[in-house]
Amino acid sequence: MTEQSSTDSAMRTITLASRGSQLAQIQTNIVLAELEAAFPSTSSGGHKFTTSFMSTAGDKNQSQALYLLGGKALWTKELEVALKEGDVDMLVHSLKDVPTTLPDGCLLGAILKREDPVDSLVVKKGKSWKTLEDLPDGSVVGTSSVRRVAQLRRKFPKLQFLDVRGNLNTRMAKLDAEDGPYAALILAKAGMVRVGFGDRLTSDILPPTLYHAVSQGALGVEIRSDDAEALRLCAALTHWETEWRCLAERACLRVLEGGCSVPVGVFSELSAPAGEQKGVLKLTGCVTAIDGQTHVEHAVEESVASREEAEALGAKLAKILIETGAKEILDEINIDREKRIGEAKTADEAAKIESAMAAPAAST
Ligand X SMILES: NCc1[nH]cc(CCC(=O)O)c1CC(=O)O
Active site residue ranges: 97
Nearer to ligand X, 31 or 322 (CB): 31
Q: d(Cα 19, Cα 308) in Å, to the nearest integer?
A: 30
Find the shortest distance in angstroms from Cβ 13 to ligand X.
Answer: 27
Find the shortest distance in angstroms from Cβ 356 to ligand X.
Answer: 15
Q: d(Cα 198, Cα 191) in Å, to the nearest integer?
A: 9
**Considering the rule CB under 6 A, would residue 74 count as an interface residue with ligand X?**
no
Q: What is residue 325's DSSP assignment? A: I
Residues 171-190 contacting ligand X, CB under 6 A: 187-188, 190
**Considering the rule CB under 6 A, would residue 360 count as an interface residue with ligand X?**
no
Nearer to ligand X, 215 or 284 (CB): 215
Runs of H (alpha helix) within the chain:
3-7, 22-38, 57-60, 77-84, 146-155, 168-176, 189-194, 228-235, 240-257, 307-321, 327-343, 347-356
Point out which residues pair with 50 in neighbouring strands.
15
Nearer to ligand X, 96 or 124 (CB): 96
Residue from 70, 71, 109, 217 touching ligand X (CB under 6 A): that is: 217
Size of site (CB under 6 A) for ligand X: 10
Contact indicator for 84, 105 with CB cutoff of 8 Å: yes
Name the residue number minimizing CB distance to ligand X.
Answer: 191
Nearer to ligand X, 191 or 292 (CB): 191
Q: Report the amino acid identity of residue 317.
A: L
**Considering the rule CB under 6 A, would residue 18 count as an interface residue with ligand X?**
no
**Considering the rule CB under 6 A, would residue 191 count as an interface residue with ligand X?**
yes
Contact indicator for 202, 122 with CB cutoff of 8 Å: yes
Nearer to ligand X, 147 or 224 (CB): 147
C-alpha atoms less than 13 angstroms from C-alpha of 169 in its C-beta half-sphere: 6
Residues 6+ apart with CB under 8 A from 125: 175, 176
Nearer to ligand X, 242 or 364 (CB): 364
Find the shortest distance in angstroms from Cβ 194 to ligand X.
Answer: 7
Residues 287-316 contacting ligand X, CB under 6 A: none
Find the shortest distance in angstroms from Cβ 162 to ligand X.
Answer: 15
**Considering the rule CB under 6 A, would residue 216 count as an interface residue with ligand X?**
yes
Q: Report the amino acid identity of residue 120.
A: S
Long-range contacts of 275-280 (CB under 8 A, 24+ apart): 277/240, 277/305, 278/303, 278/304, 278/305, 279/241, 279/244, 279/303, 279/304, 280/304
**Considering the rule CB under 6 A, would residue 364 count as an interface residue with ligand X?**
yes
Find the shortest distance in angstroms from Cβ 314 to ligand X.
Answer: 18
**Considering the rule CB under 6 A, would residue 28 count as an interface residue with ligand X?**
no
Pairing of strands 140-142, 160-162: parallel
Nearer to ligand X, 47 or 153 (CB): 153
Collapsing DSSP to helix, strand or coil, 230 comes out as helix
Pairing of strands 13-19, 90-94: parallel
Q: Report the amino acid identity of residue 277.
A: Q
Find the shortest distance in angstroms from Cβ 65 to ligand X.
Answer: 13
Find the shortest distance in angstroms from Cβ 191 to ligand X.
Answer: 3
**Could you give the string, one character per residue 77-106, with x where binding to ligand X holds by CB under 6 A and - elsewhere?**
-----------------x-xx---------
Name the residues that contact ligand X, by CB under 6 A: 94, 96-97, 187-188, 190-191, 216-217, 364
